[in-house]
Amino acid sequence: MISVRLPDGSAREFNEPVTVSQVAASIGSGLAKAAIAGKVNGKLVDTSYMIDNDVELSIVTDRDPEGVDILRHSTAHLLAYAVKQLFPDAQVTIGPVIDNGFYYDFSYKRPFTPEDLQAIEKKMTELARKNEEVTRKVLPRDEAVAYFKSIGEDYKAEIIESIPQNEDVSLYTSGGFTDLCRGPHVPANGKLKVFKLMRLAGAYWRGNSDNEMLQRIYGTAWAKKEDQDAYLHMLEEAEKRDHRRLGRSLDLFHFQDEAPGLIFWHAKGWTIWQQVEQYMRRVYQENGYQEVKGPQILDRSLWEKSGHWDNYKENMFTTESENRIYALKPMNCPGHVQIYRSNLHSYRELPLRYGEFGQCHRNEPSGSLHGMMRVRGFTQDDGHIFCTEDQILDECVAFTDLLKKVYQDFGFTDIIYKIATRPEKRVGSDEAWDKAENALIQSLERSGCSYELSPGDGAFYGPKIEYTLKDAIGRMWQCGTIQVDFSMPMRLGAEYVAEDNTRKIPVMIHRAILGSLERFIGILIENHAGAMPLWLAPVHATVLNISDSQAEYAQSVVQTMKKAGFRAEVDLRNEKITYKIRDHSVNKVPYLIVVGDKEKNANTVAVRARGGVDLGVMTVEELMARMENEIQSKQ
């Protein structure tokens, strides 16, 4: 008798081996029809998987995240199937699932065109409607290599040849197409109903520029059409909000080839930067941080001691002088340890909190650079807390509370918490890692935050909490982080005098709220579609005169506002007032102040708020009071 235990705690008994599909059918015909895969003892398997002993089983449908991933993976194979139908000479390589979709790389004698993409998507739809069964078979490695070579799929053969010789490999077949894959896959292609091919790109085989340039086809796939429609709408919105386009049109910043991955800040963009930095500086001051500044370049020996040279060297810019090797700092932590070590500290001084707007450089691959979101030079709102083991929990709880407040001030209230645990490549003892991971878990539980685990995603020196925020159109951005580190203080010789007069090693907590200021500002620009809230806006108000007779009055209004601390400008161009209003509205100025003879004579101003809202006529003092209230409330 075989016992299959289900998620609700019940069990089903079978006299002989059964497939996942048969178990689903025994529960109900609706579940059998919806089943995409199964999870047997925590492992995803096909619905055809045979159960021959006692197991725990859950049926996976398109309502489950794993089910959607399987739909996408199967759609990637459907894409390859369609390409082979239309272009038999094309060779298939790899086709993984990515966020919100999938891609597949092909080798073909000529570039695919947008028209080809339309034809491929049409063929995919035709194949899916055939509802051909997807079947799995297992072959010895060498037999699989011989098979793919026999059908001219040299890339697949090369992939399999990299697998150890004594291992078997699994192949999936649908209709006339067979592909290499671990699976699982949908039971039949008829499950694949909602998909769209998105774009073409180039990609080197195995990511090596010495290899052939392949053609990558990106696509998206969903369980429901309304989900795909929402995603496509989000992409349209994202394109409108693209910070690179807005950076140019709003005169905030630009990029150019002479400085890849680095930003040329214009005056208006730098004003936004200054507001963000000054706000964070107040956060430092109000929460017990000492602001410090470390050197940009440090000797290789220090990076070796910290562990970065062995674990991060490929991402570091290096230089030489007088037979010494230096590295441009990719992070601020070793420098902060040196500041800590410059004096002997007592346990009475701990926790000791350092904060720095530290400029860092990382040698990111050119292909990964993406506007302000992925750069080579950036500034972190970086902080390091030196504390005792007994203080870790309180510091982590306080940091999470502070981060929530900061994000709320910037307009973000939806936060996702993930705890990234020890990676394979790491420094420090398992005992230290246990303490660090447990402290982070307990801190979130004490803060009342639900969280997910990300096994193996911690930094090489310690586990971390990753704080991810959701923007106005539903995109997720991982920004803040806190990391508990037992290793670096020990490696770099940091100590404190304990209550019993012995020397002990402090724990080092690495923390950042915004992360990269450049990236965070890019997120802000896209979140607000360039229409920054008043406290962040590079220009608070622009005063527009109707004719030359009001020019002097318009300038006096601007001077009054500037003296009161507002960022105001005047537009005295000899243009129609409607043109000037339209021009500054496109530039997303929060307040447009119009002055004509009537306003001049009454010592008032006519005010328009962003979005064409007519606020009527008021005194300059009344307007400034309104604006000050808006700035203070950070609306």
- DSSP β-bridge partners for residue 222: 194
Note the helical H segments in 101-199: 114-130, 141-150, 154-161
Look at residues 48, 47, 137, 126 and name the one whose alpha carbon lies nearest to residue 81.
126
Residues 25-81: tens digit of each pLDDT:
999 999 999 999 999 999 999 999 999 999 999 999 999 999 999 999 999 999 999
Rounded to the nearest 10°, the torsion over CA 57, 58, 60, 65 is -120
What percentage of residues in the chain have a pLDDT greater than 70? 100
Residue 599 within any structural domain of the chain: yes
Q: DSSP letter at 83?
A: H
Q: Is the pLDDT of residue 572 over 90?
A: yes
Say if strands 464-470 and 415-420 run parallel, antiparallel, or are unpaired: antiparallel
Contacts of residue 185, defined as CB under 8 A and 6 or more positions apart, other chains included, come to 46, 70, 73, 74, 77, 134, 136, 172
The pair of structure tokens assigned to 436 is 């660090």
Task: Please report, for the domain that includes residue 606, its CATH number.
Answer: 3.40.50.800
* Confidence class for position 597, pLDDT limits 50, 70, 90: very high
Residues 415-448: tens digit of each pLDDT:
999 999 999 888 888 888 888 899 899 999 998 9
Residue 544 within any structural domain of the chain: yes
Backbone angles phi, psi at 72, to 5 degrees: -70, -40
Q: Is position 233 annotated in a ligand binding site? A: no
Backbone angles phi, psi at 629, to 5 degrees: -60, -40
Residues 148-167: tens digit of each pLDDT:
999 999 999 999 998 888 88
Q: Is the pLDDT of residue 635 over 80?
A: no
Contacts of residue 619, defined as CB under 8 A and 6 or more positions apart, other chains included, come to 603, 604, 605
Backbone angles phi, psi at 88, to 5 degrees: -55, -25
Q: Which of residues 38, 61, 84 is at a domain's end?
A: 61
**CA atoms within 13 Å, Cβ hemisphere of 526:** 27
Mind giving me the DSSP string for 329-380? -S-SHHHHHHHHHTS--BGGG-SEEEEEEEEEE----GGG-BTTTB-SEEEE
Q: Is position 396 annotated in a ligand binding site? A: no
Residue 561 within any structural domain of the chain: yes
Mean pLDDT (the chain) is 94
Q: How far is CA 458 from CA 319, 465, 512, 553, 570, in A?
A: 29, 9, 15, 60, 51
Note the helical H segments in 410-509: 430-446, 488-491
Q: Are residues 231 and 141 in the same domain?
A: yes
Specify the number of domains making up the chain: 4
Q: Are residues 213 and 269 in the same domain?
A: no
Residue 306 within any structural domain of the chain: no
Q: Are residues 492 and 539 in the same domain?
A: no
Q: DSSP letter at 573?
A: -
Q: Are residues 515 and 624 in the same domain?
A: no
Q: Are residues 125 and 222 in the same domain?
A: yes
Residue 595 within any structural domain of the chain: yes
Q: Are residues 54 and 87 in the same domain?
A: no
Q: Are residues 80 and 212 in the same domain?
A: yes
Task: Please report, for the domain that includes residue 22, its CATH number.
Answer: 3.10.20.30
The pair of structure tokens assigned to 551 is 């020019």
Per-residue pLDDT at 276 = 97
The residue with tokens 């506002």 is 561
Residues 224-272: tens digit of each pLDDT:
999 999 999 999 999 999 999 999 999 999 999 999 999 999 999 999 9
Which residues participate in catalysis according to the annotation?
333, 362, 380, 382, 384, 464, 510
Q: Are residues 509 and 551 in the same domain?
A: no
3-state secondary structure of 234: helix
Q: Which of residues 61, 93, 109 is at a domain's end?
A: 61
Residues 261 and 362: their CA atoms lie apart, in Å, by 10
Residues 282 and 408: their CA atoms lie apart, in Å, by 16
Q: Which of residues 483, 511, 528 is at a domain's end?
A: 528
Q: Is position 510 annotated in a ligand binding site? A: yes
Residue 300 within any structural domain of the chain: no
Look at residues 518, 492, 519 and name the one whose alpha carbon lies nearest to residue 506.
492
Residues 330 and 375: their CA atoms lie apart, in Å, by 12
Tell me if 551 sits within 8 A of 545, measured CB to CB: yes
Q: Are residues 390 and 489 in the same domain?
A: yes
3-state secondary structure of 398: helix
Task: Please report, for the domain that includes residue 94, its CATH number.
Answer: 3.30.980.10
Task: Please report, for the domain that includes residue 407, its CATH number.
Answer: 3.30.930.10
Query: By residue range, what is the domain housing residue 548?
Result: 534-633
Q: Are residues 56 and 183 in the same domain?
A: no
Q: Is the pLDDT of residue 310 over 90?
A: no
Residues 265 and 268: their CA atoms lie apart, in Å, by 8
Q: Are residues 235 and 208 in the same domain?
A: yes
The pair of structure tokens assigned to 412 is 């973000």
Residue 245 within any structural domain of the chain: no
Q: Are residues 56 and 82 in the same domain?
A: no
Residue 253 within any structural domain of the chain: no
